[in-house]
Every structure is written in structure tokens, then in C-alpha cells.
Amino acid sequence: MSEEKTNHKGGYSETAAIRTQHERTDFREHSVPLYLTSSFVFDDAEQARALFADEVPGNIYTRFSNPNNTEFIEKLCLLEGTEDGIATASGMAAMYISMASLLKSGDHILASRSVFGSTHQILNIIFPKVNISYTYADITDPKSWESKIQSNTKMIFVETPSNPALDIIDLEWLGKLATKHKLILNVDNCFATPYLQNPAKWGAHLVTHSATKFIDGQGRVIGGAVLGTKELIKEVRFFARHTGPAMSPFNAWVLSKSLETLAVRMERHCQNALHLASYLENHAEVLKVKYPFLNSHPQHELAKKQMRHGGGVVTFEIKGGIDRGRKFLNSLKMISHSANLGDTRTIATHPASTTHSKLTNDEREAVGILPGLIRISVGLEDLKDVIVDLDQAIKNSQ
């Protein structure tokens, strides 16, 4: 990294996000260039040997490392307060390798019941094929967690805030539980981003991200990241190096530049989301609203303890159930109907029929995904325009 890299040692810093950059080339560029190359040349045979033996740092092959990927990860490590990390081709690649690289046949994972649909499929369908088992625990019932730890438990995996239920778990308590039982604590920090929350501060050994969401922030590229201790990331990197879920240099370049504006974007996302949640909470056609920084959220005080703001996602249940919910989505004019989130554009999603459709009705109900639940990823538009569109869609869905 260049001399512009700060001495920042964890906890979000706008300066670190903006000024951390790969060394300038002889062309003296102000913004880091794209390194669109599959491989790198060696100075001599000895350097090639030493690089492959991991005796010296350097680039060999873009599946292993690339200056753009390195810059992106250096920034994220600084912002999350972790020792090392690796970039991946997608968020789900990050979730998968953060678990699969550290678990073996016969191991057990304790996971929060409220997880993203594809993460549920990894735990429920893919891992049992290789004899890795799991148990779900309820975020809202922390007293039950310790009793679910087994002799072969190796990892605790959680999302907080969870997708889409927006449940919060006490990371300080969870970090102490993991330490007590010598377990790896793996936290999906996608909804919060490093700007709002730093799980490593509370004892997380691994922090995972879908960079596709708020980190990119404009719906342009997909990517993921696994961050953590040097010891654990060494194993994750070996697994990734030989299985190939590498992030493209172009995506890494985009995402690294996106981190420069993450703070200002998240401030606006959170401001808009809180105001929208407050508005919907008083709407006659809305049954229930959930947002971490609303006083009505059951873990409101906990959210304020470990998060800077409440995030950019709001969920609400419209009167009339699933049929009314579908009519509402079909009536939207400006707001996008998409399965993505974290975009500059406000997005509405029906989780029960899209992102979490592979769960059974009982599984969805257990994590608060009701048939009429709508997830709103609140964008950066003028909030008045968002409310106008929501209002007309609610009215026209009656």
C-alpha cells in the first residue's frame, strides 16, 4: 500500500476508506489503475520459487491475488479492525468458504435461525452431504444457545441484523460464549457494513460480507469478502486458492472505489430508513413495522449499543396478507421490484416468494417472514418521492 495508508487500527475511518491505495506506478496516477491480467512475471527463478513457497509476498496469478483485490481487502481490514482477509466472487462464495474451509466431516455448526435463504441451503442441503451438521438457535432466546452447543461444535454463525427479519443479537455476549467454548464466531455483517458495526470489536473471529449490497451501493457488480485473524484467513485463503472463487480485478476496483463513499451513503440510507419506518408505523394500512432504531423494535437498546445507526432496510406487513402484498408490489411505479438491496435506488422485495422461498412455511414463520411481509431497501432518493410511491401503491392495492 502507498504512503497514503493511515495508521488506523480498526473502527471505521473515512480517511482510511479514501486514502488507502496501492502504490503508484511510474505513470503517477492519482486513482489506482485496473490490473486486468491473468498472471504476473517473475524477476528470476529464485523469486518464482520463493513466491510459490510463500516465503515472500507478491502476485503470481490473479486467482491467487491481484493488486486491485489486495487494495480492496486492505481497506476492509482497516475498516473492520481485522488482521487479514480475502475477496471472493460473490457474497455467497464468502459465506460458503468461511465455513467449508474450517470444517470437516463430523463437525457441527450452531447458527442463528434467521439467516439468508442461500445460507440456509448450505446448512440444510449442502453440508449434510459431507456429514457437517447444524442446529438453529433463536436470536430472541439467547438463554437457549449454550445448551445447543455439542461436543463436535466448531463454529457459531450469525447474521445481525438478520435478513429480512432485522433481528439483533448481542455480539459482546456471543463473543464471550464463543471464547468460553473455544468456538469460531463467524458474523455476516452485510446489512450493517463496517460503517455501522464492527463485529471483531466484540469478539468475532471472522466477518463476512456480500459486497454486492451496500458496499457497492449502486447495483453494478457482485462480490464478497471474508475477514478475520491471520491464522483463520490462512486456511480460508488456501481453500479459495485451490477451489477458485476469486473476485475479478474489475469488480475489486469498483468496490474499492465504492468504499470511499460508504460513510456518506450509509448516513443517507439510515436517515431515510428511519424516517420511512416512522412514517409507516403510523400508516392505517400497515400492521407492523420493524426497524432496529425504532423504539418499538424489541432489541432497540441493543441495536443502539453495537450499531452507529439502524441500517438501510425496513420491513413492514401490509394489511390483507399475501394477496394484498402482491397487489402492492405490482402497483409500485418508481420503487424498483427486485431481489437485491443496498442500492442507491429504493427496492421492494417479497421475501416469502423470492429470497426465502426455499424455506418451508414453518421455517419462514419461525423467523418472522410472514406471507405479507415486504422488505424495503431504502435508497438515496428524496424521501418524499419514496413515500408518494408507497402511498399510491398501498391505496391502489386495496
In the predicted structure, residue 9 carries a pLDDT above the cut 60: no
Answer whether residue 102 shows pLDDT above 70: yes
By C-alpha distance, which of 296, 397, 368 is closest to 139?
Answer: 368
Alpha carbons 63 and 241: distance in angstroms, whole number: 7
Q: What letters, b where the CB count within 10 A reaches 16 and e where it falls short, cover 365-386?
A: eebbbbbbbbbbbbbbbebeeb
Q: Which three cell numbers stand for residue 65?
A: 491475488
Q: pLDDT tens, 38-90?
A: 999 999 999 999 999 999 999 999 999 999 999 999 999 999 999 999 999 99
Record the cell numbers describing residue 301, joined without a space. 437498546
Kindly report which listed range (211-215, 233-237, 321-325) carries the lowest average pLDDT score. Answer: 321-325
d(CA 378, CA 336): 11
pLDDT at 117 over 90: no
- What is the domain partition of the chain in residue ranges? 14-259, 262-396
Question: Rounded distance, CA 186 to CA 228, Å?
Answer: 9
From CA 202, how far away is CA 122, in angstroms rounded? 26
Is the pLDDT at 365 greater than 80, yes or no?
A: no
Cβ of 237: how many Cβ atoms within 10 Å?
Answer: 20
| Cα-to-chain-centroid distance, residue 264 | 18
pLDDT category, 210, cuts 50, 70, 90? Answer: very high
Of 115-119, 179-183, 329-333, 353-357, the range with the lowest mean pLDDT is: 353-357
Is residue 367 scored above 80 in pLDDT? Answer: no
pLDDT tens, 134-152?
999 998 899 999 999 999 9
Pick the CATH number of 262-396 from 3.90.1150.10, 3.30.300.180, 3.40.50.300, 3.40.640.10: 3.90.1150.10
Compute the distance between CA of residue 71 and CA of residue 257 in angstroms, rounded to an integer.
10
Average pLDDT over residues 297-305: 96
CA 159, 299, 310 angle in degrees (round to 5)? 65
- Output the average pLDDT for the chain: 93
Q: In whole angstroms, what is the distance from residue 365 CA to residue 318 CA? A: 16
**What is the pLDDT averaged over residues 253-274?**
98
pLDDT tens track for 167-185: 999 999 999 999 999 999 9
Is the per-residue pLDDT at 306 higher than 70? Answer: yes
Give the pLDDT of residue 277.
98
Q: For residue 135, what are the CA distances in angstroms to 128, 149, 158, 246, 280?
A: 12, 9, 12, 30, 35
14-259 has CATH 3.90.45.10 classification: no
If you search the block for the grid coordinates 458474523, which residue do you land on? 187
